[in-house]
Chains A and B, each alone.
Chain A
Amino acid sequence: MSPLLHHALVGFIVLNVVIGMVTYVTLLERKFAARMQSRIGPYYVGPHGLLQPIADALKLMMKEDVVPAAADRWVYNLAPLAFLVPCVLIFATIPFAPGLGVADLNIGVLFFLAVSSLEIVGLFMGGWGSNNKYALLSAMRAVNQIISYDLPFIFAALVPVVLRGAFGWFVGAYGVLGPLAFVAFLVATLAAENRVPFDILEAESELVAGFRVEYSGMKFALIQLAEYAHMIATSFLGALLFLGGWLGPGPAALGPVWFLLKAMLIFLVVTWVRWSFVRIRVDQILAISWKLLLPATLVLLMVTAFVVAARGAGGS
């Protein structure tokens, strides 16, 4: 079949798989969090709660769509889409196995990082269009935070790219720079995803869902979908860059399975952190980013570049 059809088919499959994964990842998070809190998570819908995400999806689809009277109609209605599209588009560049990807871009990582920063536009549209002081406050905090953390995120993600020039194992070849970059990547992910301890933007106890507060029904579902899709996408990116992607023991056909497992590992670590800490204030979040994380990742990237240049000049 023609390459266009091939890519379109793979894209369609990937999109559906992503949406399915997003719903089940919420269940995974809920059960995992529940066990950490001495309780069982969803239990009654389906055996051990396995049908809970489907029940949630059906509920959201059937809910009434309440639009605030004074909301800015176009901005309000388009915001979930503007938020969703970048978050799903980044899946186009992730190769699930050598050659098995939607779009095989040689600037894949840069495309990922650039497009994932576009979600901030949708977020701010949601906060502004809702005509709600709480939503606006949260959107302003979010813009601040995500912009501040995109830079360390990009630098941390670039370290393995610079080191290898391609994707592969990081242990052994990367020594001490890889794990440091991985830690910085995780911290930047937490902040770029608005996860605790950096989730001042949603802050249920102050701003009650932040910029999402005026959304209900299917629009809310789209926003949730986008958030979790972004989370999974960055987990995939982290697995690809730092944990070796599809490499693993066994036949090559198991590659995507290993990839998935590694991505879920990152997701679980992020979830573990989320359910263990209180959040910190927005000015403290920004202070951490500008005063600690950005200089650290910058220095790390420069050192990486020097190491590679030295290796290239002195070695093979």
Chain B
Amino acid sequence: MADAEARHVIEIGYGGNERLVMNMGPQHPSAHGVFRAILTLEGETVVAVDAVIGYLHRCHEKLAETLTYVQYPSIASKTDYVSAMTAELAYVAAVEKVGQIGVPKRAQYLRVLVAELQRIASHCLWLGTWCLDMGGALGGGATIFLYAIRERELILDLFEALTGARLLYGFHQVGGVRYDLPAGWPERCRQTVDLVDRRLDEYEAMLDDNAFFRVRTQGVGVISRELALDVGVCGPLIRGSGVAYDVRRTEPYSSYGDFDFKVPVETAGDCYARYRVRMVEFRESIKIVRQVLDGLPAGPISSRPGVKSVGQVRIPKGEGYTRVEGARGELGCYVVADGSAKPYRLKWRGASFSNLSILPHIIPGHKVADVVAIMGSVDPVFGEVDR
């Protein structure tokens, strides 16, 4: 737990001097995973929050040292399991950077395609669970949750037709991707994406101008621009606070430079701003998907032959770090290779791990009900946090 000096405790002068220490424990319907927040309350107002993580630690980084470069990509998808394609991409891109392995153009476009589809699916889950937390399992939140999951299922159906799996794909391999598009898939993808576009209008009609929603999210959890830059959050959190930082723009990887898309930025810094950022990201991802499908080149999907043995990929000595723009922010992977088929060391930079460090700064001063709104807008996935 945080030591006394580092805790951010605010004084309210409530009058009633009794402080209640309440545990929003690891088992909680709105903890977004396994997350423990020890809240110190004065009445309904939170004055301090101690975040306890580590309930989902599965030794990914040690596991990567025992698995080869061929075996680990399917495991990498289990860090950010909601947005598995970008997690695999981070690992595979890091290995390719260290080993200086080229990726054919078609494979790069396919990687962009699945990453953007995955971003749409991940944001669907974010929207659904956030509204579920705010609106209740028996209430309007559940309605939006089921609509969002209905759309997410369509995208998962696309992934199922492409790879055979719905959540954890194993789609990437070092040097390219494992699966090519089946017959009829581009058409289906276009139809799905058009449908999601239309349904997004419905969600915005339900939420955008809704006074109940606005009053829950506007002015709540404000991250100022300076605070965002100081603490080092990433992804929609920092874009909602006025900093136009998107790894796809600052350090284009996997041919993102070929596509025309906007990076949404809002200045308010509250939950509503982050909501708007993600809703625009939906549309931009749909735009990118359409551009990829229009311009997909023919060619091989991997610069290396298909995997025939476990030690097939050997990376010479070196180290390197790649970052990708996951749905939650900047997901980074640092690989130290030593010439064998297994990495010497792997380090994940989890986007949600860095994003969670903003919580002690923005939660104190809000009410208990705002804690769930803020947690939802931060959108952590604890596979990334605890690895």
Contacts and interface: CB of A to CB of B under 8 A. Distances in A.
Interface of A: 33, 36-39, 133-134, 137, 141, 196-197, 199-200, 202-206, 208, 274-284
A137 B368 contact: yes
Contacts of A280: 212, 215-216
A280 B141 CA distance: 12
A37 B147 contact: yes
B22 interface: yes
A227 to B, nearest CB: 12
Contacts of A203: 136, 369
Nearest to B130: A278
Nearest to A133: B22
Contacts of A37: 142-143, 146-147
Given A205-B133, A284-B215, A278 B368 contact: no
22 contacts: A33-B142, A38-B147, A133-B20, A203-B136, A204-B138, A205-B30, A206-B368, A206-B371, A208-B29, A274-B138, A274-B139, A274-B140, A275-B139, A277-B212, A278-B144, A278-B212, A279-B139, A279-B141, A279-B216, A280-B212, A281-B216, A282-B369
The 4 closest A-B pairs by CB, nearest first: A278-B135, A196-B139, A205-B30, A277-B140
B253 interface: no
Contacts of A141: 44
Nearest to B150: A38
A277 B135 contact: yes
Contacts of A282: 44, 367, 369
Contacts of B231: none
A277 B216 contact: no
A143 to B, nearest CB: 13
Given A37-B147, A199-B136, A277 B368 contact: no
B147 A278 contact: no
Nearest to A36: B143
Contacts of B20: 133
Nearest to B213: A278
Nearest to B145: A37
Given A37-B146, A283-B44, A278 B139 contact: yes
Interface residues of B, number: 36
Interface in B258-306: none
B372 A283 contact: no
Given A278-B216, A283-B367, A205 B372 contact: yes
Given A196-B135, A275-B142, A279-B134, A205 B215 contact: no
Contacts of B150: 38
A275 B367 CA distance: 24
B382 to A, nearest CB: 17
Given A197-B212, A199-B136, A275 B30 contact: no
Nearest to A202: B136
Interface string B103-147: 000000000000000000000000000011111111111111011
Nearest to B140: A277
Contact of B146 (A38, A199, A281): A38
Contacts of B42: none
A133 B19 CA distance: 12
Given A38-B147, A204-B29, A276-B206, A281 B140 contact: no
Given A38-B150, A278-B131, A196 B136 contact: yes
A284 B216 CA distance: 9
B250 interface: no
Contacts of A204: 29, 136-139
Contacts of B141: 205, 278-279
A38 B372 CA distance: 26
A197 B139 CA distance: 8
Contacts of A277: 135, 139-140, 210, 212-213
A282 B43 CA distance: 12
B376 to A, nearest CB: 9
Contacts of A281: 215-216, 367, 369-370
Report which residue of B22, B132, B135, B212 has the largest number of chain A beta carbons within 10 angstroms of its beta carbon.
B135
Nearest to A287: B215
Contact of A39 (B136, B146, B372): B146
Contacts of A137: 22, 44, 368
B134 A205 contact: yes
A284 B213 CA distance: 12
Given A282-B44, A284-B215, A276 B134 contact: no
B147 to A, nearest CB: 7
Given A278-B212, A283-B44, A205 B137 contact: yes
Given A38-B150, A196-B139, A278 B22 contact: no
Nearest to B137: A204
Given A274-B140, A277-B139, A206 B147 contact: no
A202 B138 CA distance: 10
Contacts of B30: 205-206
B136 A279 contact: yes
Interface string B360-387: 0000000111111000000000000000
A116 to B, nearest CB: 22
A205 B29 contact: yes
A141 B368 CA distance: 12
A284 to B, nearest CB: 5
Interface in B184-219: 206, 210, 212-213, 215-216
Contacts of A197: 135, 139-140, 212
Q: Which of A141, A199, A279 has the most CB of B within 10 A?
A: A279
Given A196-B139, A197-B140, A283-B44, 18 more contacts: A33-B142, A141-B44, A196-B136, A199-B139, A202-B136, A205-B30, A206-B30, A208-B28, A274-B138, A275-B143, A276-B143, A277-B139, A277-B140, A278-B136, A278-B216, A279-B139, A281-B369, A282-B44
